[in-house]
Amino acid sequence: MPTTPSARMIAHPAREEITLEAVLAALADPVRLRIVGDLAAGHTEMACVSFRLPVTKSTATHHFRVLREAGLIRQSYRGTSRMNALRRDDLEALFPGLLDTILAVARQHGIPPLQP
């Protein structure tokens, strides 16, 4: 049975629904922080399978869902791949400088990106 376009839609919070608490909670996990760091390092979009995550597939799915529901990433389908993009414009409009500051501090404390 073919998949209808509505079955492939992924829910995202609107900009005004993104809260500081949700963003900080999502970034508190090192794996999620590294996913965001990789996206912030110049990757406009990356497929879920492109990340070399040190977790099972189901745990990776959980991490991407937390990031999406917090408003940090936007996910869409391209063929059979789920693509991830950082919602930098939304985050910068709501919390100017926050993301760059968190990622800079993470690098200073030795939290490297996942990708080489």
Mean pLDDT, residues 73-95 taken together: 95
| Mean pLDDT, the chain, whole residue set | 88
Beta bridge mates, 74: 85
| CA distances in angstroms from 14 to 10, 18, 71, 100, listed in the order given | 12, 7, 8, 21
Provide CB contacts within 8 A for 80, sequence distance 6+: none
pLDDT computed for residue 112 by the predictor: 62
**What residue segments make up the domains of the chain, in order of their start?**
17-108
Under the banding of pLDDT at 50, 70 and 90, the label for residue 6 is very low
Q: At which residue do the structure tokens 């996910």 appear?
A: 75
Using CB atoms within 10 A of its CB, is residue 37 exposed (0-12), middle (13-18) or buried (19+)?
buried
Contact present, 62 and 39 (Cβ < 8 Å): no
pLDDT computed for residue 108 by the predictor: 87
In the CATH hierarchy, which fold is given to the domain comprising 17-108? Arc Repressor Mutant, subunit A (1.10.10)
pLDDT over 60 (residue 114): no
Cα–Cα distance measured from residue 47 to residue 108, given in angstroms and rounded to the nearest whole number: 27
Mean pLDDT, residues 46-67 taken together: 92
pTM of the predicted structure, to 2 decimals: 0.86
